[in-house]
Structure 1
Amino acid sequence: MRFLIAFVALVGYASASVISPLVYGVNAGDAQAAHIDAAVAAQDNARAWGEGQARAAEAAVQFNTEAVRQVAETNRDLQENAYWGSVAANQNAVAAAQSHAAAASGVVAARAGLAAGYAAPYAGFAAPYAGYAAAPYGIAAPYGIAAPYGAHGLAYRGW
Structure 2
Amino acid sequence: MRFLFAFVALLGYASASAILAPYVYGANAGDVQAAAIDATVAARDTVRAIGEGQARAAEAVIQHNTEAVRQVAETNRNLHENAFWGSVAASQNYVAAAQSQAAAIDGAAAAVRAAHAAAPIVAAAPLAYAGVAAPYLAAPYAAYGAYGLGLRHW
TM-score (ref. length: structure 1): 0.61
**RMSD value over aligned CA atoms?**
2.1
Structure 2 counterparts to residues 11-90 of structure 1, below 5 A: 22-23=23-24, 25-90=26-91
Deviations for 1:111-135, whole angstroms, at most 9, x for unmatched residues?
11111233x345xxxxxxxxxxxxx
Aligned residue in 2 for 1:94 = 95
CA drift at 1:97:
0.4
Residue segments in structure 1 that go unaligned for 5+ positions in a row: 1-18, 123-159
What secondary structure does 2:46 align onto? helix
Percent identical across equivalent pairs?
Answer: 67
Cα separation, 2, equivalents of 1:99 and 1:40: 87
Cα separation, 2, equivalents of 1:78 and 1:102: 36
How many residue pairs get aligned? The number is 104
What amino acid sits opposite 1:61 in the alignment? I
Cα separation, 2, equivalents of 1:57 and 1:112: 82
Aligned residue in 2 for 1:131 = none
Q: Which has the higher relative contact order, 1 or 2, with Cα contacts under 8 A spaced 6 or more apart? A: 2
What amino acid sits opposite 1:77 in the alignment? N
CA drift at 1:20:
9.2
Moved over 6 A (4+): none
